[in-house]
């Protein structure tokens, strides 16, 4: 027996740091990326639950949701979260799941540098066996 699940993958986080002021905690670009990844990854389950609800109404939903945002250098709060319409292929209800899950997130401690980032989630259906292991689907022969 097979069941449908979905894959929720974080595809990319590109941070560009803009230096502001002096003093305070300072991350390297790699640390900034890693720490932001951890904050966003913690939202995987709420996003998955929301997507699953939307998927019940339309089992064919899939695509990417890309957001742009700023990490405030004084508070560490993720703000100005915006859907990147040019790079988002998933329908609006899926994009709304992502936006709603990013409300009030915070990078702790705040960094003296403001972070500007782009993050993409990939939504796709995955078929799994009864034991929960993914079914490898081979492309049709050409």
Q: What is the pLDDT of residues 37-85, one digit of tens each?
A: 899 888 888 888 888 888 888 877 888 999 999 999 889 999 999 999 9
Nearest Cα neighbor of 8 from 52, 59, 39 is 52
Q: Is the pLDDT of residue 95 over 50?
A: yes
User: Does residue 54 lie in a domain region?
Assistant: yes
User: Does residue 138 lie in a domain region?
Assistant: no
User: Does residue 56 lie in a domain region?
Assistant: yes
User: Does residue 65 lie in a domain region?
Assistant: yes
User: Does residue 136 lie in a domain region?
Assistant: no
Cα 140 to chain centroid, rounded: 31
The b/e string for 18-39 (b: 16+ C-beta within 10 A; e otherwise) is: eeeeeeeeebeeeebbebbeeb
Residues 6+ apart with CB under 8 A from 62: 6, 90, 123, 124, 125
Tens digits of residue pLDDT in 102-142 = 988 999 998 888 888 888 888 876 666 677 665 555 555 55
Query: Residue 121 is part of which domain span?
Result: 2-128
**Single pTM value for the model:** 0.73
pLDDT reported for residue 134: 59
Q: Is the pLDDT of residue 4 over 70?
A: no
User: Does residue 42 lie in a domain region?
Assistant: yes
**Number of domains, the chain:** 1
| Biggest distance spanned by C-alpha atoms of the chain | 60
């Amino acid at each position: 027996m097979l069941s449908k699940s979905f894959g929720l993958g974080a595809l990319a986080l590109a941070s560009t740091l803009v230096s502001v002021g002096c003093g305070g905690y300072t991350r390297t670009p790699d640390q900034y990326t890693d720490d932001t990844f951890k904050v966003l990854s913690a939202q995987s389950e709420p996003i998955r639950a929301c997507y699953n609800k939307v998927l019940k109404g339309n089992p064919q939903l899939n695509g990417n949701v890309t957001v742009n945002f700023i990490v405030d250098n004084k508070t560490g709060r993720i703000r100005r979260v915006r859907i990147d319409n040019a790079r988002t292929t998933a329908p609006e209800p899926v994009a709304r799941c992502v936006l709603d899950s990013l409300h009030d997130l915070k990078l702790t401690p705040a960094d003296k540098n403001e972070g500007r980032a782009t993050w993409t989630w990939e939504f796709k259906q995955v078929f799994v066996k009864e034991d929960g292991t993914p079914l490898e689907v081979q492309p049709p022969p050409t």
